[in-house]
Structure 1
Amino acid sequence: MGEIGLVMIIGLIVLLAIGVPIAFTIGLLAAVGIWMADVNPMILPQQFIAGSSVTSLLAIPGFILAGEVMSAGGLSRRLVRVAETFFGHLTGGLSMSTVAAGTFFGAISGSAPATTAAVGSIMIDELEDRGYQRGYAAALATAVGPLGQMIPPSIPMVIWGVLAEESIAKLFLAGIIPGLIAATGFCIVSVLYARHHGVAKEKRATGKEFLFALKDGIWALLAPVVILGGIYSGMFTPTEAAMVGVLYSAIVGLFLYRDLDWRKMPSILMSSMRTTAVIMFIVAVAYGFAWVMASEQIPAQLTQALLALTDNPIILLLIVNIMLLLLGAVMDNISAMVILSGVLIGLGQQIGLDPIQLGAMVVINFAVGMVTPPVGYSIFVASSISGLRVETVARHIWPFMLVLLGVVALVAYVPAITLWLPATFG
């Protein structure tokens, strides 16, 4: 590997180790790489602009805003109520209701932290009041967050689709079965926990209560149908679907549920703009970093180095998944995807991995990173909502981590898990 490659890789490790924010780290290293290569420095801002100007990235602010409006408009609260009427009377029913609510909200927001925030703000106190340990409740809210990245629409799937030039709609389909498997695993954990700790069952909802919850929550339940149905019917693209989601959530919140006040809109818009700005800043500087890496052929060199270790695709997949899990625990997943995309795409081609399966594997590995200290955003969100220390939440999260690791293994070694739906409906 050349001098520039060594400087950039060592610099990345050192700067992250001393706590420099990831966006500043990769921006600085991109500038250093341009300087060392004696290339016109104007290329760097051009790459920053190019990285943030891809049309498909317009879906990101749309899905972020849609999630914020739906949460403020009462849709998430009604989803929880519907889930409770279905599962509340079962062993571990309230915990399973949290999983179901996270699954539904994940099909709206596309974001792990947003899903954790929406579900956790309602359910953590409720779970504690019904006999669950607060640490378990916070860990559960953390764990359902990644469902927002697996189940479509998914913001990381949009970014990977742009990077790999793959169909975003097919990537969305690839995440559905892994997301449902993870949700099923969380429900099993819920039952085992309730039995072990003697959590009492809730009374079964009456027919009247069930019908009221269903009637009250019907507009919330229809949100994923409108968004995803529009995409797969061909009515609109994923980018347009994000804007339809914003419009739908605003109409429902303002005029049907009337939980959303016009006076709340400026704060909702500001919150969405802050989240979008952070993501787009990382994407922009990461594009510059990735351009320098590609121009120095560093991804190709790293791919060859990995292939030199072994030519066994099973072992290679294991090495790649371990690497992704470790990086997901210490790096922001969006910047990590942009930086590693060249290496991963090249490696996938070398071992014959389907590009859609590769994309799902990358996104799901980094989704696990969202619940893993020290950079797991979802665990910090749950810690903030619950008032517990991150270490306390982390101590309770290991059963959910086992489920997520099982999903990672299935995605890597059973192609049908991610490829059957895209092949059938893509």
Structure 2
Amino acid sequence: MGLLILISVFIFGLVVGIPVAITLGLASLSYLITMGIPVVVMPQKMYAGMDVFVLLSIPGFILAGNLMNSGGITERIIRFANALVGWIRGGLGLTNVGASMLFGGITGTAVADAASIGSVMIPGMKKAGYPADFSAAVTAASSTVGPIIPPSVPMIIVGALSGISVGKMFLAGAIPGVLMGVAMMVTTYVIARKKNFPKQEWQGFREIARSFAGAFWAIAMTGIILYGLLSGIATPTETAVVASVYAMFVGLLIYRELPIRKIPKIMVDSAVSASGILILVGFANVFGWILVSERIPQAIAAGVLSVTDNKFLIILMVNILLLIIGMFMETIAALIILFVPLLTLAVSVGIDPLHFATFAVLNLMIGLTTPPLGVCLFVCAGIARLPLTPVVKAITPFILTNIGVLLLVSYVPAIATWLPSVLLP
């Protein structure tokens, strides 16, 4: 009875549009009351879920990204990407993808990428003669690279849930993230050739050098983050703090586009964003504890294994499940609720935990661009001032491309595990 109440309240909350964090809390509270469990369990489990040291890195990375974005990073990264690929047919589309790959290595969040890059690139592409639906679609699709290329907030969450090293998680996402970006560039080029999109004149190596010099300090943040983790000098949390201090230094003294008066507001906005994630983590931990108490992970594993114990079929089934879940549920909530049960299943058939974690995160990133609830879709459609339908139609080739990369990563474990095994053996 209690489990039925839990699932019913959860589904009802999602259907009527209640925020996922509140929905998880209401469903968990309903279960506790129905089963006669003291309500004091709820704050205890919430605190236990949030009291994980590595989660402290989330506010740091969010603050670092916001400081860099407010300090003039977006325009410099776009200029550099445009100098590299703007002269190719569909060059602004390629620039959009390239800028997202560079920008995502700083913020680690897809929505920030979509909003920041989109606010500059979508109007610019429309002005240059690109269709508005394509401009919004390529921006939304490329924004999903951000949480794959390190640093990555979802990777931090997975590390906290599973005990996998966050440094290894970051490295595991590097090659798949680059593959996604390159695949979307190829898709953009094919569409551009087919529809004869415009291209710019070659700007010369001098412009490449100048634009790189302008973007260098922003791009260097990714190097600082990875060096701190790989060298063992700093934990992820300490690295996030260093990144925030570095971002403030660059914005104030090098780019000189970060007004001191804006810093308090940036810190407050970053704190609000981080607190929203941590509250979601807390409520989801209660929900997850209830599922474990009801032995749902074991039931899922037993149910799947009763059908097949073939590793390759199970990978396919997990991917299909996560693609469907990603259409309706926020990424972090889906990870917290489903990751541990599915990891149990994966390990039972011999799938490497690091490999599984990588393609699970990549899978749910695709969900940010799929209807009906793809957040990045709504952000980019809003910037382009379009209804959702034409953007969904235009983004379909990119979704198919990303699913192709997902299958490649899913069935070739070395794509995810080789770099961590070399650099962090």
Same fold (TM over 0.5): yes
Which of 185, 188, 198 is the equivalent residue of 2:186? Answer: 188
1:419 paired with 2:417, answer yes
* Corresponding residue of 2:241: 243
Q: Post-superposition shift, 1:203? A: 0.9
Aligned mates of 1:207, 1:23 — CA distance in 2: 49
Aligned mates of 2:170, 2:209 — CA distance in 1: 32
User: Is contact 2:122–2:139 with CA below 8 Å preserved after alignment?
Assistant: yes
Which of 318, 340, 343 is the equivalent residue of 1:342? Answer: 340
- The one-letter amino acid of 1:304's match is A
Q: Post-superposition shift, 1:170? A: 0.7
1:265 paired with 2:263, answer yes
Aligned mates of 2:359, 2:34 — CA distance in 1: 34
Aligned mates of 1:11, 1:218 — CA distance in 2: 50
User: Is contact 1:169–1:238 with CA below 8 Å preserved after alignment?
Assistant: yes
Q: Post-superposition shift, 1:317? A: 1.5
Q: In structure 2, list runs of 5 or more residues that go unmatched.
A: none
Deviations 1:42-67 (A, max 9, x none): 11110111112211111111111111
User: Is contact 1:76–1:220 with CA below 8 Å preserved after alignment?
Assistant: no
Alignment of 1:188-337 (within 5 A): 188-337=186-335
* Corresponding residue of 1:389: 387
Aligned mates of 2:372, 2:265 — CA distance in 1: 29
Deviations 1:337-385 (A, max 9, x none): 1111331121012111100011112111110111112222211221222
Q: Post-superposition shift, 1:264? A: 1.6
* Corresponding residue of 1:158: 156
Which of 129, 146, 151 is the equivalent residue of 2:127? Answer: 129
Alignment of 1:33-52 (within 5 A): 33-52=31-50
TM-score (norm 1): 0.96
Deviations 1:93-128 (A, max 9, x none): 221111111101111111010111121111111112
Aligned mates of 2:352, 2:15 — CA distance in 1: 34
TM-score (norm 2): 0.96
Aligned mates of 1:317, 1:211 — CA distance in 2: 44
DSSP-derived class of the 1:150 partner? coil
User: Is contact 2:91–2:198 with CA below 8 Å preserved after alignment?
Assistant: no
Q: Post-superposition shift, 1:211? A: 2.7
Which of 65, 71, 77 is the equivalent residue of 2:75? Answer: 77
* Corresponding residue of 2:99: 101
Q: Post-superposition shift, 1:297? A: 1.2
Aligned mates of 2:269, 2:369 — CA distance in 1: 22
Q: Post-superposition shift, 1:254? A: 0.8
Deviations 1:224-266 (A, max 9, x none): 1112222212221222121111111111111111111012223
Aligned mates of 1:6, 1:341 — CA distance in 2: 21
Aligned mates of 2:371, 2:61 — CA distance in 1: 26
Which of 53, 56, 60 is the equivalent residue of 2:54? Answer: 56
Aligned mates of 1:241, 1:393 — CA distance in 2: 38
Q: Post-superposition shift, 1:199? A: 2.0
DSSP-derived class of the 1:151 partner? coil
Q: Post-superposition shift, 1:267? A: 2.6
Q: Which segment drifts farther, 291-300 or 27-36?
A: 27-36
Aligned mates of 2:323, 2:8 — CA distance in 1: 20
User: Is contact 1:4–1:296 with CA below 8 Å preserved after alignment?
Assistant: no
The percentage of counterpart residues that share the same residue type is 38
Q: Which segment drifts farther, 252-261 or 25-34?
A: 25-34
Q: Post-superposition shift, 1:397? A: 0.4
User: Is contact 1:294–1:342 with CA below 8 Å preserved after alignment?
Assistant: no
User: Is contact 1:134–1:386 with CA below 8 Å preserved after alignment?
Assistant: yes
- The one-letter amino acid of 2:400's match is L
Aligned mates of 1:339, 1:241 — CA distance in 2: 27
* Corresponding residue of 1:352: 350
Aligned mates of 1:211, 1:366 — CA distance in 2: 36
User: Is contact 1:5–1:298 with CA below 8 Å preserved after alignment?
Assistant: no
* Corresponding residue of 2:400: 402
User: Is contact 2:106–2:219 with CA below 8 Å preserved after alignment?
Assistant: no
CA-based RMSD: 1.5
Q: Which segment drifts farther, 172-181 or 224-233?
A: 224-233
Aligned mates of 1:303, 1:37 — CA distance in 2: 25
Aligned mates of 1:212, 1:18 — CA distance in 2: 51
